[in-house]
Chains A and B, each alone.
Chain A
């Protein structure tokens, strides 16, 4: 394989592959910063992917599709919020339930939507916008500066999220809720409300990540289209040390290894491709071994919050 010939395509696959993971991971940062480990990202992404696809197809406006997908993601994530915040149910079990329920709802909706009308099976796709000058830079130009508007927005979101958590009062409140909710409550922060807000933001961003798959990547919805990206997003949050910049780096790194996996499959076709397919996941496991210390995350992460508990 001529690596330099393959590199621009690997980088393009990297950025395209990183965006849905990045969006979901940013959503998870909000959730975990408020003490909620939401492993239901996979399910929320599936709902966002389907609703974004279906509404985009029906209305002919992909941005309306995106907004509808995000709204649907919030709706599903409110189930998670109600169970874990209000009823104080186990967060892992609830997240798994979301992962089973949401793709099934999406598939049911898909069957209703497409029905016997196969014309509904293919939607439209957001166009790529090449930034003049920058998109012509060798190797990286096409990868980073010839993207859909949604991808640009996802990358712009990273510094905004970072700034929010570092400098906004609300951002600091999020962090305090995730570290010590009882102390936060005594300071006048409404912990339950803050956790609900975190779930809303998480639902919005995660579903946007799912919608990216059907509105920007390929104009179709299939059962299983999320392909484990929700779980990868969870890993990138840990690898990225619960920070927006870290999550960006982890998403790009995973995207790079995924692109490399495809390039190797394309060029060494007689080799057992399973070895190549393992690359991104081996990277994920190694990253978690080195960066997965549970002491690094918010202290009250994953713990139910009882207001009356002393």
Chain B
């Protein structure tokens, strides 16, 4: 052997390696056998199982956590349902096998957190419709007309879409009322149609309550590089006097908050999403636009047998799918009252027209 080891060392290493592999294999067998004991189905469906596949971690403070907390909330109000441990950090290449493993366990509802897995799930959905008819699929942030166009069957499939105009408008109203300089910023992870709609509604709403407002944006920040969020926010603060930020880029938003904190939490504010992030850990966050992904509604439909056929569940202000979270003490009562007043108009659809949102969108 061409190495700086003796034959005895090599033999010892080989034996130690083999012993380790055997030990790990036995441990894995032990855990898998204990985990598979409750996979039997129930004919009268007194209990249901739900599982979720996420591209990132479930505690990312953004996208993944928003889905996870929505599911926990739904489970709390649906005692017949049991949540399996979500499959986190799932790469696109593993999306189909992740879904198939839940199909094999006859899980009643499999949730895709985002539309990035949709194309990979087409075959799994088609096969499950015949082999496991009790399995249902729910895909968030997915437009059936475009994202599911190639699907063989939508019999057991539904999607969730958020009313982005309402989400953006809520953030815009707060930004327009909180900014002292009239300069507001936005960071998006990717230049997606949904991201553009959010920003367009955000800026249009801010300009409606404060016509002096100017917007600054970046739609290509990615979702992981927090230092980019810090640097671009610092740049906007230094060059453009930006004093309010809203973000749609998970970890990058954390970086933006760092920059706002360094600039001073009494004068520089962040609006978080999609979970309520106000607290001492985030001193610059003044409020949050919160999204509830309406998993409870999907569970109700499965229990009643009405789930499927490619229906779209909309999360909006009427059904509690979109709302503003708690306020920090930086938001005066006067501002809170105005936000409440505007929120009613947003909910009623009289605050922003589609044309006003499109006018901003066409400039992007």
Interface of A with B (CB < 8 Å)? 1-2, 5-6, 8-10, 12-13, 16-17, 85-88, 107, 110-111, 114-122, 125, 192, 213, 217-220, 222-225, 227, 259, 262-263, 265-267, 269-270, 273-274, 277, 305-307
The answer to whether the Cβ of B327 comes within 8 Å of any Cβ in the partner chain is no
Closest CB-CB distance, B63 to chain A, in whole Å? 12
Q: Are the C-beta atoms of B226 and A9 separated by less than 8 Å? A: no
- 23 residue pairs from A and B, CB less than 8 Å apart: A1-B239, A2-B239, A6-B235, A8-B238, A17-B227, A87-B3, A88-B4, A107-B57, A114-B59, A121-B59, A218-B227, A222-B60, A222-B250, A223-B57, A224-B224, A225-B224, A225-B225, A263-B235, A265-B220, A266-B216, A269-B216, A273-B220, A277-B220
CB-defined interface of B1-44 with A at 8 Å, one 1/0 digit per residue?
A: 01111000000000000000000000000000000000000000
Closest CB-CB distance, A288 to chain B, in whole Å? 23
Closest CB-CB distance, B172 to chain A, in whole Å? 18
Closest CB-CB distance, B255 to chain A, in whole Å? 5
Known: A110-B57, A223-B57, A223-B89. A217 touches B230 (CB 8 A): yes
Residue of B nearest to A115 (CB): B59
The one of A8, A110, A222 in contact with B251, judged by C-beta atoms closer than 8 angstroms, is A222
* Complex Cα spacing A190 to B60, Å: 47
* Complex Cα spacing A273 to B188, Å: 13
Q: Are the C-beta atoms of A266 and B225 separated by less than 8 Å? A: no
The answer to whether the Cβ of B151 comes within 8 Å of any Cβ in the partner chain is no
Residue of A nearest to B5 (CB): A86
Residue of B nearest to A86 (CB): B4
CB-defined interface of B239-283 with A at 8 Å, one 1/0 digit per residue?
A: 110000000001100110010000000000000000000000110
The answer to whether the Cβ of B232 comes within 8 Å of any Cβ in the partner chain is yes
Q: Are the C-beta atoms of B235 and A220 separated by less than 8 Å? A: no
Q: Are the C-beta atoms of A266 and B224 separated by less than 8 Å? A: no
Q: Are the C-beta atoms of A213 and B2 separated by less than 8 Å? A: no
Q: Are the C-beta atoms of B239 and A267 separated by less than 8 Å? A: yes
* Complex Cα spacing A38 to B226, Å: 26
Number of A-B contacts (CB under 8 A): 127
The answer to whether the Cβ of B88 comes within 8 Å of any Cβ in the partner chain is yes
The one of A13, A86, A125, A217 in contact with B3, judged by C-beta atoms closer than 8 angstroms, is A86
Q: Are the C-beta atoms of B227 and A222 separated by less than 8 Å? A: no
In the complex, chain A residues whose CB is within 8 Å of the CB of B255:
218
The answer to whether the Cβ of B236 comes within 8 Å of any Cβ in the partner chain is yes
The answer to whether the Cβ of B56 comes within 8 Å of any Cβ in the partner chain is yes
Q: Are the C-beta atoms of B216 and A225 separated by less than 8 Å? A: no
Known: A5-B239, A222-B60, A266-B239. A213 touches B227 (CB 8 A): yes
* Complex Cα spacing A118 to B72, Å: 14
Closest CB-CB distance, A42 to chain B, in whole Å? 14
Residue of A nearest to B257 (CB): A218
Q: Are the C-beta atoms of B217 and A269 separated by less than 8 Å? A: yes
Q: Are the C-beta atoms of B88 and A111 separated by less than 8 Å? A: yes
**For the side of the interface on B, what is the size category?**
35 or more
Closest CB-CB distance, B302 to chain A, in whole Å? 25
* Complex Cα spacing A206 to B356, Å: 51
Which of A9, A88, A217 has the largest count of B CB atoms less than 10 A from its CB? A9
* Complex Cα spacing A263 to B238, Å: 10
* Complex Cα spacing A14 to B89, Å: 31
Interface of B with A (CB < 8 Å)? 2-5, 56-61, 65, 88-89, 216-218, 220, 224-232, 234-236, 238-240, 250-251, 254-255, 258, 281-282, 364
Which of B88, B231, B238, B364 has the largest count of A CB atoms less than 10 A from its CB? B231
Shortest Cβ-Cβ A-B pairs, 6 listed: A218-B226, A266-B235, A222-B251, A224-B224, A262-B231, A9-B238
Known: A88-B3, A217-B226, A218-B254. A9 touches B234 (CB 8 A): yes
* Complex Cα spacing A273 to B57, Å: 27
* Complex Cα spacing A307 to B2, Å: 10
The one of B5, B61, B216, B231 in contact with A118, judged by C-beta atoms closer than 8 angstroms, is B61
Known: A220-B251, A269-B218, A307-B4. A5 touches B227 (CB 8 A): no
Which of A125, A265, A270, A306 has the largest count of B CB atoms less than 10 A from its CB? A265
* Complex Cα spacing A5 to B282, Å: 28
* Complex Cα spacing A224 to B222, Å: 11
The one of A17, A118, A120, A262 in contact with B235, judged by C-beta atoms closer than 8 angstroms, is A262
Closest CB-CB distance, B285 to chain A, in whole Å? 12
Known: A213-B227, A225-B226. A85 touches B232 (CB 8 A): no
Q: Are the C-beta atoms of A122 and B281 separated by less than 8 Å? A: yes
Q: Are the C-beta atoms of B231 and A13 separated by less than 8 Å? A: yes
Closest CB-CB distance, B345 to chain A, in whole Å? 29
Closest CB-CB distance, A216 to chain B, in whole Å? 10
In the complex, chain A residues whose CB is within 8 Å of the CB of B364:
270
Q: Are the C-beta atoms of B234 and A222 separated by less than 8 Å? A: no
In the complex, chain A residues whose CB is within 8 Å of the CB of B239:
1-2, 5-6, 9, 263, 266-267
Which of A125, A223, A274 has the largest count of B CB atoms less than 10 A from its CB? A223
Residue of B nearest to A6 (CB): B239
Residue of A nearest to B215 (CB): A269
Which of B58, B229, B250 has the largest count of A CB atoms less than 10 A from its CB? B58
Q: Are the C-beta atoms of A13 and B88 separated by less than 8 Å? A: no
Closest CB-CB distance, B276 to chain A, in whole Å? 11
Q: Are the C-beta atoms of A227 and B224 separated by less than 8 Å? A: yes
Known: A107-B89, A122-B281, A266-B235. A220 touches B254 (CB 8 A): yes
